[in-house]
Structures are given as structure tokens and as C-alpha cells.
Structure 1
């Protein structure tokens, strides 16, 4: 086992080269496959589907300053730069961080809504409202 022959070396190099060629070829071929681009509704996965969230969403819809339907909520939220970045992001942790940062910006810019005695950012309130609306049967 101490001898490493030229045949074994060339065979190993050939296997590695074929593996690299196959990997590179699959990367090139995958560029032509259409991708599922996330949209606004992919953000709703971060909002739990619980009774408390639905209650907050219902109350947020009754508050002034928020849109009252899903398309309007989606349009209002996607106008915000960090939400646009979160929608385009694949990593769930990064998406969550971007949404949290947008909520912090809402508080800094005094874009808040009082819902059932809670002071929420407009982003939080809109996401709760959207979650409540998306859970309703059409």
C-alpha cells in the first residue's frame, strides 16, 4: 500500500476532473431553469397563524392609516426598501432581520399604530392584518 502508481494518480485526477465538469455543467444548465421568485406573501410565513395575531390584525384593519385589503397592504409594504430586500432574500434569518429593521425604522420615523392599547409599527400591524386576511377563506 506504500506505492502510489502513476495509473492511480491519473485515475484520481480524471475522477476529480469529471466531477468538476459535471458540477460546472449543472451550474450552467440551471441558469436556464425558471426560478420561483418570492413575493409579498412569502413574508407572511414569519407571522404566526395564532388567534392573538388574527385579533391584532382585525383591530389593525379597523385602525386609521392602514390599507384594508391584501393587494393594498402588499403595495404599501413593498414600497419600503427593507421589505423589498426581505422579499428578494432567500435566507430566513436575513429576511427576519430585515423586517425587524424596517419595524425599528417605523418607530424612528413615528410610523406607528395603536391597536388594542399596543403601540405597533405600521409594518407589524400591516403584517398581522395581512396574515388575518390571508387566513380567511375566499
Structure 2
């Protein structure tokens, strides 16, 4: 009985300490990784520029934060952070490709890449590539009524 109690206390302290480590390192590296990522990506696809939202510094911070948060056992949603991670990776790849091919400097091409990245984030979370393809069509073809 004593062994079970000590194991339970150890695991509880370990989970809290890893969650605290995740928060503290995220705040030290960069504080712009908060939020789910989906509303912000819809905003970026519509043409609004969010400064420092898709930078490499945010990517490193988000990867470390989501790894530590999931490792601590905190019941958090994974879809928003994975969408944000995929979008940051698409932005970095788009910046790299624009050095070689000027077609990637086009804003419409970037919006399409971001929509595909959002679908990749959803597909990685739920292991559902067919559902992700529907998300691409909804994200790109949605026209709000006036």
C-alpha cells in the first residue's frame, strides 16, 4: 500500500512539474504560441497579416510546448496546435521555396498552402485524410454572404 501511494505522488508531481516546465519555457522562448490556431489561420487565409505568428521562433516554442503538455498528461485539445504547427511549417517551406521559384511569392499561392497545412494538421490529429480534404474545400471555397 505504501508503494502505491508513493508511486501516485511521484506521478502527480512529475505531471505538474512537466506542465510547469512547458509553460515556463514557452514564456521564455516566445509568448505568441497561445490560442488554438484555427481562427488565426482563417484570418491569415483571408489576407490579414498577423505579425510574428508563423515565425521559426514560434515553431520551436510550439513544438516544445505541445510535447511537454501532452507528455504531462494534461487533457488538452490537439487539433488547434497541430494546425498551427503545420501552418508554421508551410510558411517556412514557402519562404524557402520562394528563393528558388517566384511563384511562391504570390499571396494566393500562400493562402492555398496555408489551407492545405490546416488540413494536414487536422489529418494528423484524427488520422482522417478524407475529412481533411473536405476541410481544404471548405476553407478555400467559403464565400461569406453580404
Structure 1 length-normalised TM: 0.33
Between Structure 1 and Structure 2, whose CA radius of gyration is higher?
1
Structure with more helix by fraction = 2
Structure 2 length-normalised TM: 0.32
Structure with more strand by fraction = 1
Which has the bigger relative contact order, CA under 8 A and spacing at least 6? 1
